[in-house]
Structure 1
Amino acid sequence: MIRTAKLASLPLAFTGRRIAGASKRALGRPADEVDREIQRRTAEHMAEVLGELKGCAAKLGQILGIYELALPADLAQPYRVALSRLQDSAPPMLPGTVHAVLAETFGPDWRGRFREFDDRRAAAATIGQVHRAVWHDGRAVAVKVMYPGARAAIDSDLRQLRGLSWLAPVFAPHADGSAVMDEFAECVRAELDFAAEARNQRRFAEVYADDPDFRVPRVVTQRGDVIVSEWLDGIPLSRVIASGAQAERDRVGMLAIRFFWSSAPRSGLLYGDPHPGNFRVLPDGRLGVVDFGACSPWPPPQFPALVHDLADALMNGGPAELDAFARRHGFLDGQRGLDSAALAAKLLPFTEILRAETFRVDIDWLRERTRDAMSPKLSNAYRQLGAPAYLMPFHRALVTLFGLVAQLGTTGPMRAEILRWSPEFRAVMERHGSQTGQPTDLAAVRLRRADRPPRSLSPQGS
């Protein structure tokens, strides 16, 4: 009841701030100054209240983090601070609580399974926490323990959050709050199934065993609300983002792209949560990958044709082909029209990744794409589109990947990496080359004609 009351306080407080703000504007305070104060206090209040939600806070912070990019840089700061607090807000379980979960899972002699067990939390997971330990056979292991009562608490939190879908526009004006909350609920609930997560991780560990670029820790055992897997020593990507040399940032960003695009062809599963907290740079240079709760069987039967037809319409067709694509694949119903020429113009920057031999994705590029997509103008062609429900896991994962790559400021041969794993894109680009008889890197040609340095040909790292 206390948590419910605190959630209910959010819209009341927001309304109060709006009323007070109107009075301040009437007394002569600049409107921009008043609006900024409302945004700052709302963001801080959201972090304080939502931070008390057991498993929802960190995941909500991850999902909403991308929408912060829709705001101008000077307005985004209070939201960035609040989201950072939100993602790091999970309170640690006391040792006695952790021991109780392990005793319930493995029996009262649970300590006999470990040579050592560190009671200090090594990391916070979305719905629990991770402890470092040594298994009885001498292996260093990570022990992921779910918060007791997490399922009931999350069900309660999600019911309340569905009633707060207006919060999404606080981070992203004119966002579809209901759709954001529905996707958030599905994402969190999937991570409650530790048995499914362990199966996913075993599958990835099998197909990436002895891979020169990646390491997925093997699952040692999974019972109930505990997963024990091999420990990974490495540098968190947050540290690479904050202080890594650009050559290393480029290398790691390209590895993240490779893992994402290779995951479904190699494992039959989409890796659905490629955010920085789930990667480590290992001492041997490989990229370590953890957290397999948000994986989906992939691709659905309709997906390969959708990818081919969209890329073909953009690269080899025109507005008419794009309109036909949207209707064929369920982005439009029979009643709605589409300004397909305007939509093609909005999608052009994404096609430059396929046109350019080398490309750079950074925060400025992603912010421009995000703000363009979320523009509240009625003329915004994105607003004319729906989306098939089966695309939601891919959309969420791709947006998260773009956020990671942009934070690293990655420059590299992205086109080659995507074509390596997608026969649909390869077929489209082969047709593009045969039809145009021109170099694929048209973006660089246009920029050279404009006598300015080509963004896509920034110096590449290792």
Structure 2
Amino acid sequence: MTDIPRRAMSRTAKLAALPLGFAGRTVLGMGKRVTGLASDVISAEIQQRTAEQLFSVLGQLKGGAMKFGQALSVFEAALPEEIAAPYRQALTKLQEAAPPLPAATVHKVLAEQLGPAWREHFDKFNDTPAAAASIGQVHRAVWRDPDGGGSRDAAVKIQYPGAGDALLTDLKQLSRLGGMFRAIQPGLDVKPLLVELRERITEELDYELEAESQRAFAAAYADDKEIFIPAVLAATPRVLVTEWIEGTPLAEIIRAGTEEQRDEAGRLMAILHLSAPARAGLLHADPHPGNFRLLPDGRLGVIDFGAVARMPEGTPEPIGRLAGLALRGEADGVVEGLREEGFVSPTEPIDAQAVLDFIRPMLTPVAEEEFRFTRAWLRAEATRLASPRSPAYQLSRQLNLPPSYLLIHRVTLGSIGVLCQLEAKAPYRSILERWLPGFAPVA
């Protein structure tokens, strides 16, 4: 048996064991069915053990489990504090850490992708990975420019052998864990997230396609004073070489940054995500802290363009227009627009004022000139939207998320999660006014 099937069997066994362990603890600690919010009915000790096992296993895996763990970890700020606090560090580790490949395997991939004389492309190559992601790991190197123009510090991303098969296998297993994730954070529907991840596996496994996206971002933000995109130096299907960037990872700023650093990082993240569709025709679709650095010159450095949304016409205009209508209290206009976009059934009756009451609290960050995102605010919103006893929860059962908005929705939620981890204060409304089509200033 080869190493890859053996590793796949190990992954499957670990993932399959998670629901069993969770079920045992649930029966032991509850003796009744979970209803409503988990914090109402599950003891802190049981939640803590479940979170510990879940993120411990996800942290050992590559492929779909690692990617899902990264995506889930940005929702850490919405977890109840008694659950989030002990495992904040473990969650953050998911965003930047995974077991490394042996040097011999790394060399084999480089030889396959860059040729047997791959070392001639580098003045230096560090066999110890500097970082790991869901389907590959990054090594620091010094790239020798082929035109004789000198050398540059480089990041060399190398895809794990068998990453495609592992990704498919892990995602198939994780699709069975929806009940457990809902118990940790009820209301988080994992199914659309898994469907979206599956649809983008082919794109994320193609490093040449990622290079194309990164070049488009780099061109759009060339010489920008606030956003920095490293240049692509070389690309093959399984190896991507880009400029190395020095900076403080957002995970470190979340953990120990100053208030000024956290506020500035949040402001720059908002600018990036709102401006990119207009400037690059793309949306960076992997908003977890491991993909951002605060550079010494104050710019936000952005890496990892494997997951992007292609938006050649920019952000859909109805998003901004409907947000403006909601802030101005125009309930009928909001419902009419939601029906046109497919968020509300064209035939089923719905209470327009209830819809407005459902939406308005979500727009609090842009209802004022400045707003500070906090974990407490996000937990309150999560409670409002997730509790079956909440009017917002009941109304949400009448709303639909059109497929064309799925990725935008995920990126928005992920970005808000990071902003709440940062507890960042910034003039978010003015950023929307600058970059969001159709968003009219609030009188």
Shorter-chain TM-score bucket reads 0.7 to 0.9
Residue of structure 2 in register with 1:437 after alignment: none
Write out aligned runs for 1:59-458 (5 A): 59-77=67-85, 80=88, 83-137=91-145, 138-186=151-199, 189-298=202-311, 304-334=316-346, 336-377=348-389, 379=391, 380=393, 381-425=395-439, 428-429=440-441, 432-433=442-443
- Greater shift, 81-90 or 4-13, is seen at 81-90
- Greater shift, 112-121 or 76-85, is seen at 76-85
Q: Distance in 2 between matches of 1:240 and 1:69?
A: 15
Residue of structure 2 in register with 1:439 after alignment: none
Q: Percent identity?
A: 43
Question: Any idea what SS the aligned residue of 2:177 has?
Answer: coil
* 2:65–2:174 Cα contact (<8 Å) kept: no
Q: Distance in 1 between matches of 2:261 and 2:27?
A: 49
Larger radius of gyration: 1
Question: Any idea what SS the aligned residue of 1:116 has?
Answer: strand
Counterpart amino acid of residue 404 in structure 1? V
Counterparts in 2 of 1:33 and 1:257: CA distance versus 1, 3 Å: closer
In the superposition, the TM-score normalised over structure 2's length comes to 0.88
Question: Any idea what SS the aligned residue of 1:191 has?
Answer: helix
* 1:57–1:86 Cα contact (<8 Å) kept: no
Shift of 1:210: 1.2
Shift of 1:42: 1.9
Counterparts in 2 of 1:366 and 1:174: CA distance versus 1, 3 Å: closer
Shift of 1:88: 4.9
* 2:73–2:95 Cα contact (<8 Å) kept: no
Q: Distance in 1 between matches of 2:13 and 2:348?
A: 41
Deviation string, structure 1 residues 370-397 (Cα, Å, up to 9, x no partner):
3222222363222321111111111111
Q: Distance in 2 between matches of 1:89 and 1:135?
A: 24
Counterparts in 2 of 1:364 and 1:357: CA distance versus 1, 3 Å: same
* 2:64–2:167 Cα contact (<8 Å) kept: yes
Q: Distance in 1 between matches of 2:79 and 2:289?
A: 21
Write out aligned runs for 1:29-44 (5 A): 35-44=43-52
* 1:236–1:281 Cα contact (<8 Å) kept: yes
Deviation string, structure 1 residues 203-230 (Cα, Å, up to 9, x no partner):
1111111111121111001012000011
- Greater shift, 150-159 or 66-75, is seen at 66-75
Q: Distance in 2 between matches of 1:264 and 1:186?
A: 21
Counterparts in 2 of 1:204 and 1:32: CA distance versus 1, 3 Å: closer
Counterpart amino acid of residue 121 in structure 2? R
Say yes or no: does 1:51 pair with 2:59. yes
Q: Distance in 2 between matches of 1:175 and 1:410?
A: 23
Say yes or no: does 1:20 pair with 2:33. no
Shift of 1:34: 6.7
* 1:214–1:286 Cα contact (<8 Å) kept: yes
Shift of 1:23: 6.7
For structure 1, list consecutive stretches of 5 or more residues without a partner in the other structure.
25-30, 434-462
Coordinate RMSD, CA, aligned:
2.6
Residue of structure 1 in register with 2:19 after alignment: 11
In the superposition, the TM-score normalised over structure 1's length comes to 0.84
Shift of 1:337: 4.0
Q: Distance in 1 between matches of 2:73 and 2:366?
A: 26
* 1:43–1:78 Cα contact (<8 Å) kept: no
Counterparts in 2 of 1:15 and 1:419: CA distance versus 1, 3 Å: same
* 1:102–1:226 Cα contact (<8 Å) kept: yes
Q: Distance in 1 between matches of 2:298 and 2:76?
A: 31
* 2:59–2:94 Cα contact (<8 Å) kept: yes
